[in-house]
Structure 1
Amino acid sequence: MVSNVVFGRGSFNQLADIIQPKRLNTKAPFIFFVDDVFKGNAWLTSRIPLSYQDKIVFVSTKEEPKTEQIDQYVEDIILNFKERPSGIIGIGGGCLLDVAKAVAIMLNNDGESKDYQGWDLVKNEAVYHVGIPTISGTGAEVSRTTILTGPERKLGINSDYTPFDQVILDPELTKDVPTDQWFYTGMDCYVHCIESLKGTYLNAFSQSYGEKALELCKDIFLGDHLTEEEAQDQLMMASWHGGMSIAYSQVGVAHAMSYGLGYLLGIKHGIGNCIVFDHLEDYYPEGVAMFKQMKIKHNITLPQGICKDLSDKDFDIMINVALSLEPLWENAIGKNWKDKITHETLKALYQKM
């Protein structure tokens, strides 16, 4: 679990006080990885507490993080600074938080980041790292994984060393998120809840978090009584609770198939989950029905026909990526999932998208 959490509107202003005791010395910088959407945004960047050799690295999120990108960031840090950083701070959405977690891990572990894609492969504790989400829903601020696209697969670095040491949850930072992005990322949280609560890995701990996150999502995306600020606050907490739920259980069909779309077509995670989930009535009938209500209420039109021109080889690539995520399928279907989920089953689903 994340050991230290601060929540509240304006809590971003506490960042300097939080990280100052963690500074190792004046030559050991804090590196701030910041979504480049904030480049030139003085409202946020002027409040980043830079001292000594600290550095801001602006990161484009047009594409999701790649293993080679992480390796390059780590190499640059090692070559340009005399000492390892005092800490890594990620400021942005799920992609930025995953970048920060991955860099923090790889600074203290040998080899390439692709070597750690999988479950419990990390040997050494990560560098001190802080997560500050500026959009809510992904659960990246609380999860034990960092999702990366590697040369052979899209898969997280899942380990007990992955979660942040400190998280700052400031709903004010989400105030300028575009409506479509707000919906897609919020639906990532909603799908987390459905897949956790309907999964075979469900337990009392994960259920308590999943049920609260689902309650909040219904209030936010189907209700009419919340103010804008209340909705921001609640979605930030839904994201946290949804992330906690899957951390102690697992996700399912939508996430497995979304990874296939992301690996082959570069479809970003939130919208990819939406595209897949829209066709999963056979697996999550009540959840999909509610999702369609949410789409209508917020005037969301999902991309259609994204797989219509794909070759058999393309389908094979996506299907193999999806099928490689065995814990997700076992959670969704059960231990005998291989008897029920076939290559043909997944191809038929992808062909609908």
Structure 2
Amino acid sequence: MSFRNFKMVDYVVFGRGAFNQLDEILAPRRKADAPMIFLVDHFFQGKPLAERVPLRGKDEIIFADVTYEPKTTQVDALANSLKEKFGTVSGVIGIGGGSTMDLAKAVSLMMNNPGSSADYQGWDLVKQPGVYKAGIPTLSGTGAEVSRTTVLTGPTRKLGMNSDFTPFDQIVLDPELTKDAPVNQRFYTGMDCYIHCIESLEGTYLNEFSKSYGEKALQLCQKVFVDKDYWDDESDDQLMMASYAGGMSIAYSQVGVAHAVSYGLSYLLGTKHGIGNCIVMNYLEEYYPAGVKEFKYMVEKNKIEIPEGICKGLTDEQFDTMINVSLGMKPLWENALGKDWEKIMTREKLRKLYEKL
């Protein structure tokens, strides 16, 4: 058996107010005449957080429109415009939710790799390290701050740039940054973490490494969404650590059915990742009975509306597009259903599942 030798984030700082150290953290990474580029979720335009970004010299803040998840075209346009304007940059700093952090990782890689980001969608296709990159989450749950992938929607598929060059060089985990997150959004990203823990812990790829992190992340999600009747600072701290541990758990395992199916939704319909996972999870009793039961309890307890009927009226061609994208996620299906997954999850069965959503 061969063991994965995986790359982790080089430096991690955790704590309330840690964002205030950003200037000091970036100082040794600055190169003469090469600016730091801060990719910030457009949610923060005109808000106090944007004013706290430590700009020096030619540094720039680019407010990233993450209404939809990152596309390869968006990554390429950003990287090309930075190359034209500056030649090179000292680093790319992503401040926001999973989409903003994925965008930052991808732009960093494309500063030093030729062609289009679509050429690197897959496993271990990136050949050169990117420029320095740091991730600062303002939402907790996606695990994008620690993962070795940056998930992009390309011309033909939704697939990550999975490589050892993808993880951040530095992450700043400051729970204070998540406190103003809209309630629904906080729930959807929190459930992204919960769902990938369920998928990882019940998958065939599981070992003690992923199990240890996955169990801890799951426990923290339960503390926040099941045990508590109110939201406080401790909830923000716990969910941020759940996101980190959940991301770590996937490093050595894989996600499963909910993620594989939701990739199809986001590719065709532009459904955001967290909400897409929730829409799918509602119908997965056959695969994760206990997880789905608890998930439904959390939805009810937290008074969250999960959209329904989003696949009504789709054409056969549109269903086929989603099915093709979903079945392309081979490692996810194998983790969920084992080596013979193709006999279990047929196109017909997947179509029936999509029709329920």
Q: Distance in 1 between matches of 2:304 and 2:340?
A: 36
Counterpart residue number, 2:38 = 32
Q: Which of 15, 18, 22 lines up with 2:22 in the alignment?
A: 15
1:55 correspondence with 2:60:
yes
Q: Which residue of 1 aligns with 2:70?
A: 65
Matched residue SS, 1:145? coil
Q: What RMSD in Å do the two structures reach over aligned CA positions?
A: 0.8
Q: Which runs of 5+ in 2 are unaligned?
A: 1-7
Other-structure match for 1:166 = 170
Alignment of 1:104-115 (within 5 A): 104-115=108-119
Distance 1:128 1:53 in 2: 17
Using the alignment, how far apart are the partners of 1:343 and 1:96 within structure 2? 33
- Give runs of aligned pairs for residues 113-124 of structure 1, distance below 5 A: 113-124=117-128
Q: Secondary structure, in 3 states, of the residue corresponding to 1:6?
A: strand
Instruction: Name the aligned partner's letter for residue 137 of structure 2.
Output: P
Overall identity of the aligned pairs, in %: 63
Number of residues of Structure 1 aligned to a counterpart in Structure 2: 350
Alignment of 1:224-239 (within 5 A): 224=228, 228-239=232-243
User: Given the alignment, which residue of 75, 80, 84 partners 1:79?
Assistant: 84
Q: CA deviation at 1:343?
A: 0.2
Give the alignment of 1:78-157 within 5 angstroms: 78-81=83-86, 83-157=87-161
Partners of 2:252 and 2:193 lie apart in 1 by 15
Shift of the alpha carbon at 1:45?
1.6
**What displacement does 1:120 show?**
0.5
In structure 2, C-alpha distance between the alignment counterparts of 1:290 and 1:225, rounded to whole Å:
16
Match in the other structure for 2:11: 4
**One-letter identity of the residue aligned with 1:184:** Y
Partner-residue secondary structure (3-state), 1:90:
strand
2 CA distance for matches of 1:24 and 1:66? 29
- Aligned to 1:322, which of 321, 326, 333? 326
Partner Cα separation in structure 2 for residue 85 and residue 114 of structure 1: 22
| Corresponding residue of 1:210 | 214
The CA deviation string for residues 112-136 of structure 1, in whole angstroms up to 9 with x for no partner, is 0000000100001111100000000
1:180-219 equivalence runs, <5 A: 180-219=184-223
Q: Shift of the alpha carbon at 1:224?
A: 2.1
Q: Does 1:284 align with 2:288?
A: yes
Q: CA deviation at 1:46?
A: 1.8
Per-residue deviation, 1:226:
6.6
Report the Cα offset of residue 84 of structure 1.
Answer: 1.0
Residue 247 of structure 1: CA displacement?
1.4
CA distance in 1, matches of 2:72, 2:310: 25
Amino acid at match of 2:41: D
The counterpart of 1:334, out of the listed 330, 333, 338, is 338
What TM-score, normalized by structure 2, do the two folds share? 0.97
Task: Report the Cα offset of residue 193 of structure 1.
Answer: 0.3
* Rounded Cα–Cα distance in structure 1 between residues aligned with 2:112 and 2:159: 20
2:260 to 233, 243, 256: 256
SS state of the match for residue 57, structure 1?
Answer: strand
Q: Which letter does structure 1 place at the counterpart of 2:28?
A: P
Q: Which runs of 5+ in 1 are unaligned?
A: none
Cα distance between partner residues in 2 of 1:319 and 1:224: 38
What do the CA deviations read for 1:267-320 (whole angstroms, capped 9, x no partner)? 000000000011000000000000000001011121111111101111000000
Measure the CA separation in 1 of the matches of 2:333 and 2:58.
46
Q: State the one-letter code of the partner of 1:34.
A: V
Aligned to 1:310: 314
Secondary structure of the 2:114 match is coil
Q: Which residue of 1 aligns with 2:3?
A: none
- How far did residue 60 of structure 1 move? 1.2
Give the Å deviation of 1:227: 5.4
